[in-house]
Every structure is written in structure tokens, then in C-alpha cells.
Chain A
Amino acid sequence: MRTVIVGAGQAGRRTAELLRGLDAEREILLIGEEAEPPYDRPPLSKEILLGEKQPPGLMQRAAGAYAEQRIELLLGCRVTGIDLAARRLDADDGERVPFDTLVLATGARARRLRIPGAEDPRVLTLRSMADARALGARLRPGLRLAVAGAGLIGLEVAASATKLGCLVTVLEAADRVMARCVPEATSALLDGWHREAGVALHLSCPLLSITPGEASLRLSTGLGDIEADLLLVAIGAVPNDELARQAGLPVEDGILVDESGRTSHAQVFAAGEVARIWRPALGQHVRYETWQVAQHQPVAVAHALCGAERPYDEIPWHWTNQYGRNIQLLGAHRAGLEWIARAEGDRQTVIGLDGDARVQGAVLIDNGRDATPLRRLIASGKQMERARLRDGSVALRQLC
């Protein structure tokens, strides 16, 4: 039995290692396009930009660690096609790679700006270690850095660059920061941290065009022109689902899979953020761009590869670190929730209730200890008393 995993990022590594833990015998081949051994991405917008070489959060093992686990690691190799009938991959070096079962863990790539001037070499994106090193090498005191997009990555880069002494301007088309995933009060909190640190934050301010000059970039925005030495485009990610589409697998902004990570083809699976996963409770497929899904959805995939079902049914969770503060986001952040704040000094938890007073989501500010009781409250669907939720002296676990 030979399992081939395409994509040697976090989800690929986790699938390979979990699979080895479940099955000592099978051949496991992990193929990555980058020259880097697998790594987790959260440090790229923080520690790597700040000059750390091997922050522990990378979870980057030496290439030799894979041989010890009898996982064959093939780096710098791009898979160009899948022949499902012949159970074979084509690689860019002309190699043909046979498989019995296949896992696509190809991740996502940075979304590009489609406006004039976006091809200038001073316009960068941040997705890979190479991207982070290239960006980090250019950040220096006094550099005028513009960031298009006040999402998680844009804001983390703004915080890191400010710490390095750059003069940072953030341009956001929406009327608040991180609008996609936090309630208004949390946007306001983040907004305040950035402005206090000296970031020029322009909201409702889309970037319209880029005019590359010899000395700098001129950025035309909805609110006038800005001069910048460097522009980071941080406007989201696009799943790398083309291989699956070309092979005839169902794809809708991500590879459609069941709760075990299986595609429409019984021997082909998708892992991590390229997967659009069936969520029975929601009655739809959902794609997640989080460390969590890359870490834990491969548990379902590895089990299914061994003939055991361990459906993926986690409550969505992610986090951001900015200015030494940690914000964790749990569950749903849709419009229409009523947000209730609980404070214990600087630690704060904001809880989102639906119309039936059931917990749907939460924001934890330097308060990660609340995550587990809140997960239980969300999963239980229990109706809550608002006054008890607000009371910081009542431990959340007592409300479970």
C-alpha cells in the first residue's frame, strides 16, 4: 500500500505523521513544491519578519526526521497532473509517481490584486517562508510600507513592521478592520492598538491603482494618493484546487470532501485549507483557512486512509497575536449576534449569542483559558442567562 501526499505544508506533514502512527507498514511519500521541509505558517508574519530563524512555532523538523519516521520526503517537486484511472501523478521533472491512495494537501496561495501596477517588484504578498524572508529583508527603520488589506495577515505585518521602525500605512476597503471575523467592538480595539503604535489606518479606502516611480510607488486610493517604498498585498487567499479540478474531482473554491476528508473518488482525499469540508450541522461544505484545520482535519483523513471513520467536526477556532496581545476567535462571527462582554482586568471575553440566547461564537482577549468551556457551551446549544454570562466572578465552566 502506497499513500502519496501532495503538498508538504502543515496539513501534509500532519497527514503523513498521523498515518505513520496508525500504520507502521505502508509506504508514505510526501511531495512538496518548496525547497523547505514542512513548517507551520503562523510565525511568518511575526517572528520570521522580526528576524528569528527557527521560532518553535514553525514546528519545522530537520529533513532527516522524516527518514526516521520512514516518510519519504520529496522537496522542490511540482506535481503537474493526476491520472486517476492509472493512479499516477505526473511531476514537473517528468517523473511518474504511482499511488494507491492520494491526499491533496496543496493549501492556498495569496490572492493577487488585479489593478494597474500590481506587477511591480515592490508589490509583495506573504504566504511562504521565502515570501517572509524576502519581506523581512526589506523592512528597515524609516521604510514606508503600505499594506493593502486590514485582515489578520495585514494587521500582523503592520504590527511587526512598526516594531522594526517602518512607517506603516494600512488601506482597507471595508469600514473596519478584520470585519470578516470579529465583532465591531473587537475591530475598534484592534484599530486603537494600531493607531496608538503609529500606524496610519485608512478605512473605507480601496486601493485603485499603483503607479511605479523610480524612487517609490504612488498608490491611488479612494482617499487620495500615498507614496510608499513597498506594498504588501494581504487581501486573502485562493485555494490551490486546480490539480483536483483537472482530474475531474468536484471543486467549488476548494476540493469538496466529506467529514472524513474523502473526495468523490474513494481513494482520493483532501487535507487542510484546500478542502471544502461537509458540515452536517450547517448543511453545507465549508473551507477554513486556519492552523486548526491543517492541524486537526488530517486526523480524520489519516483514519479514513486506514479504514476508520473519525469525522472532522471541530468548532472553528483561530487566533492573532499583535502588539504582545493574543486574540482568539471561536465559532461563528456572523452578523446579527448579540455580543456580551465579560471582563477580568485586562483579560476579556466577548460572547456572541443568537436570538435564542445560545452561544454561537466568542472572542478571547488574552484569555485563552476560556476557550475550552466556551467550546462546550457552543456545542451544547444551551440557552444562557445573560446576567450570569456577564458576571466575571462566575467561572464559565460552571455554566456548561
Chain B
Amino acid sequence: MPESWHPVAPADSFEDDAAKVVQIGETRIAVFRLENDFFAVSDVCTHEYALLSEGFCENGKIECPLHQACFDIRTGKALDEPAEVDLPTYPTRIENGVVQLQFDAG
């Protein structure tokens, strides 16, 4: 099976507390830089449909813009209600200065 790494953006183009979003098929993924590491999580809140990349981000946490459920960007963990299900996470790496994420469709 071929490795399914998808380019996100140049590593030096990321801003603090702001996600880069990639869409692969039906899946939206938000990628964050925290210090010098990159983390990719689903961009969709697990409570009700809302895009987390449109939410408030701080100290490694992303807050849903609708009901303020918070998730840990490093682990995808749902930190409080109303979200009760963790976000899917995806591995990242840097190739030639470009952040990539691994995603296997299906």
C-alpha cells in the first residue's frame, strides 16, 4: 500500500494559534504548529457540526466556535462537555520544508 502523505503548507508559513486546513475527499483536517512541532486533527467538532479552525486557539487547545467545547491539539482529546468524543489525529512530518500529514482514505 503506498504511503499516503499529503502536503499541507511550508513549515515556515504557519502562524501561532492559527490552523492550516486541508481537505482530503470528505475529510477536513486542521494542522497546527505548537513551538516546533506540527499536529493534525480533524477540523470538525465531535459534538455538533462546526469547524474548529474557526474557533479560538491558545496554549495547545482549540475551542469550538459554537459551544466552546475544547480539545487538546496534541492528542485530539475532548477536554470538556459538550464534546465527549476525541478528535481523530493524523501523523505529520516535514519533507523539504513542507509539512505533510498522513491520511489513508477508506
- Closest B residue, CB atoms, query A10: B82
Say which residue of A14, A295, A319, A372 sits within 8 Å of B66 (CB atoms): A319
* A340-374 interface (Cβ within 8 A of B): 367-373
* A384-400 interface (Cβ within 8 A of B): 397
Query: Are A372 and B48 neighbours in the complex by a CB distance under 8 Å?
Result: no
Query: Are B48 and A56 neighbours in the complex by a CB distance under 8 Å?
Result: yes
Query: Are A397 and B58 neighbours in the complex by a CB distance under 8 Å?
Result: yes
Residues of B within 8 A of A (CB): 47-50, 54-56, 58, 63-68, 81-82
Most buried by B among A55, A368, A371, A373: A368
Please measure, in the bound complex, the distance between the C-alpha atom of A55 and the C-alpha atom of B82, giving whole angstroms.
14
Query: Are A326 and B47 neighbours in the complex by a CB distance under 8 Å?
Result: no
- Closest A residue, CB atoms, query B48: A57
Please measure, in the bound complex, the distance between the C-alpha atom of A134 and the C-alpha atom of B72, giving whole angstroms.
41
Q: Given known contacts A57-B48, A368-B65, what 15 new A-B pairs fall within 8 Å (CB)?
A: A14-B81, A56-B48, A56-B49, A291-B67, A295-B82, A368-B50, A368-B55, A368-B66, A368-B68, A369-B54, A369-B63, A371-B68, A372-B58, A372-B68, A373-B56
Min Cβ gap B76→A in Å is 18
Please measure, in the bound complex, the distance between the C-alpha atom of A373 and the C-alpha atom of B68, giving whole angstroms.
12
Known: A295-B82, A368-B65, A372-B63. A56 touches B56 (CB 8 A): no
Q: Given the complex, which residues of A lie within 8 Å of B55, measured CB to CB? A: 368-369
Q: Given the complex, which residues of A lie within 8 Å of B66, measured CB to CB? A: 319, 326, 368
The answer to whether A188 has its CB under 8 Å from any CB of chain B is no
The answer to whether A59 has its CB under 8 Å from any CB of chain B is yes
Query: Are A371 and B56 neighbours in the complex by a CB distance under 8 Å?
Result: yes
Please measure, in the bound complex, the distance between the C-alpha atom of A295 and the C-alpha atom of B56, giving whole angstroms.
20
Query: Are A59 and B58 neighbours in the complex by a CB distance under 8 Å?
Result: no
Q: What bracket does the count of chain A residues touching chain B fall in?
A: 10 to 19
- Closest B residue, CB atoms, query A347: B54
Q: Given the complex, which residues of B lie within 8 Å of A372, measured CB to CB? A: 56, 58, 63, 68
Please measure, in the bound complex, the distance between the C-alpha atom of A59 and the C-alpha atom of B83, giving whole angstroms.
10
Q: Mark A39-51, 1 if CB is under 8 A from B, else 0.
A: 0100000000000
Min Cβ gap A342→B in Å is 15
Q: Given the complex, which residues of B lie within 8 Å of A56, measured CB to CB? A: 47-49
Query: Are B68 and A59 neighbours in the complex by a CB distance under 8 Å?
Result: no
Most buried by A among B49, B54, B67: B67
* A116-139 interface (Cβ within 8 A of B): none
* A12-54 interface (Cβ within 8 A of B): 14, 40
Q: Mark A371-382, 1 if CB is under 8 A from B, else 0.
A: 111000000000
Q: Given the complex, which residues of A lie within 8 Å of B49, measured CB to CB? A: 56
**14 A-B Cβ contacts within 8 A?**
A55-B48, A56-B47, A56-B48, A56-B49, A57-B48, A291-B67, A295-B81, A295-B82, A367-B65, A368-B64, A369-B65, A371-B56, A371-B68, A372-B63
Query: Are A369 and B82 neighbours in the complex by a CB distance under 8 Å?
Result: no
Query: Are A369 and B56 neighbours in the complex by a CB distance under 8 Å?
Result: yes
Q: Mark A54-82, 1 if CB is under 8 A from B, else 0.
A: 01110100000000000000000000000
- Closest A residue, CB atoms, query B45: A56
